[in-house]
Every structure is written in C-alpha cells, then in structure tokens.
C-alpha cells in the first residue's frame, strides 16, 4: 500500500543522504521525495511517498525515527490529511480549436497558464496525485512536450476542522474525473 511519510529533520550537512541512504541500505522504496524549509530556521520538512506492507512501513517509520537528527516521523496515511503536488507542463496549443480545448481543461482543473507562446502553453496545476494524473491523461492526446512534477507534500487536518470537515475540492474533482474515465 502507498504511504505518505512526513519527516521533520534538522537541516544539517548531509541530512538528505542520511535519509535516502537509510532507504537504499535497507531496501525500501522512495517513490517521491520533497524537501523544503519550515518556519523554524534550520528545520526542514521531508515528505516521502513509499509503498510496502505493514511490516515494511513500520520498519521505515522506526528506522527513520532512529536517525539522530530526525525530530519527528509521521505516517500521514494513518490519519485524515490533505495532499498536494504541483505539475508544470508544456502543451501544444495551436491556434483555433486546440487552444480552446486546452483553456477549457485549464478552467475545469483550476490550473493556470503561466507562459503563452504562439503554438504552446506552459500550464501550472496543483492537486492530489489523482487529479494531477487525470489532468495529464486528458492533455496527452493534445500533446505534452515537457513535464515536471514535484511529488506530494502533505498536511494533517487539524482535529477541530476534521469534525466539520470541509469538502475537499479535489475530492469533488476525483468523482468527476472517475466518471469521465468510465
């Protein structure tokens, strides 16, 4: 099963290799990896998506926690959370119908056009992995010439928000796209 694991780490010399090295030394997979600073200087957040059975995931959590400069390890998958990743794509957008089709997809997916050329756009879109995948699938027939994805970042829903849980726009969306795929 796919898990999203969030590590709060001291941003010290070689920290990324300590975590990545642990994964490779013990034969765990890193599917995606994201590192960026937090509000506190010297502390970074790493978001890793990985997969494995419960035993493997348990070991990943424990072994990561054992690293001396890892402050906190959270398996986001275990509790309600929000996940987002960003994708940027260069897509064909020739004058006429094709250009209109791309723009309408941009609107439906709440994406953005960040660069305009006579026969192409650069698009930017954020969402969970499903939404990003759906967006890519729909653009493929039109022609994607370049793509960059960040991999997910994740945040736990705060408890009191959870109670009156606001409907996630992405959930609305995955219903829509799932229907379309069928």
Least spacing, CB of residue 6 vs other proteins, in Å: 15
The nearer residue to other proteins, 15 or 129, going by C-beta atoms, is: 15
133: nearest Cα among 174, 102, 179, 81: 174
Query: Minimum CB separation from other proteins for residue 107, in Å?
Result: 45
Burial status of residue 118 (CB atoms within 10 A of its CB: 0-12, 13-18, 19 or more): exposed
Please say which residue, 55 or 167, places its beta carbon nearer to other proteins.
Answer: 55
Q: Which is nearer to other proteins, 17 or 38 (CB)?
A: 17
* Minimum CB distance to other proteins, residue 67 (Å): 8
27: left (phi over 0), alpha (psi -120 to 50) or beta: left
* Residues at the contact surface with other proteins, assessed by CB under 8 A: 9-10, 13-14, 17-18, 21-22, 25, 55, 58-59, 62-63, 65-66, 68-71
Nearer to other proteins among residue 15 and residue 102 (C-beta) = 15
Nearest to 135 by CA among 111, 171, 154: 111
- Provide the minimum distance between the beta carbon of 34 and other proteins in the complex, in angstroms, as a whole number: 20
d(CA 116, CA 139): 16
**Spatial separation of the C-alpha atoms in residues 163 and 167, rounded to whole Å:** 12
């Amino acid at each position: 099963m796919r898990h999203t694991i969030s590590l709060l780490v001291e941003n010290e010399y070689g920290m990324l290799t300590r975590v990545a090295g642990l994964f490779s030394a013990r034969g765990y997979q890193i599917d995606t990896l994201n590192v960026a600073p937090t509000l506190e200087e010297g502390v970074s957040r790493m978001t890793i998506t990985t997969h494995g059975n419960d035993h493997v995931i348990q070991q990943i959590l424990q072994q990561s926690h054992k690293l001396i400069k890892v402050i906190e390890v959270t398996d986001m998958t275990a509790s309600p959370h929000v996940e987002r990743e960003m994708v940027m794509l260069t897509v064909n957008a020739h004058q006429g119908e094709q250009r209109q089709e791309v723009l309408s997809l941009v609107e439906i997916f709440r994406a953005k056009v960040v660069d305009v050329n006579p026969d192409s756009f650069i698009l930017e879109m954020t969402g969970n992995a499903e939404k990003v995948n759906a967006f890519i699938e729909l653009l493929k027939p039109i022609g994607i010439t370049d793509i960059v994805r960040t991999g997910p970042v994740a945040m736990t829903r705060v408890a009191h928000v959870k109670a009156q849980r606001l409907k996630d726009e992405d959930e609305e969306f995955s219903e829509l796209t799932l229907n379309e795929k069928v």
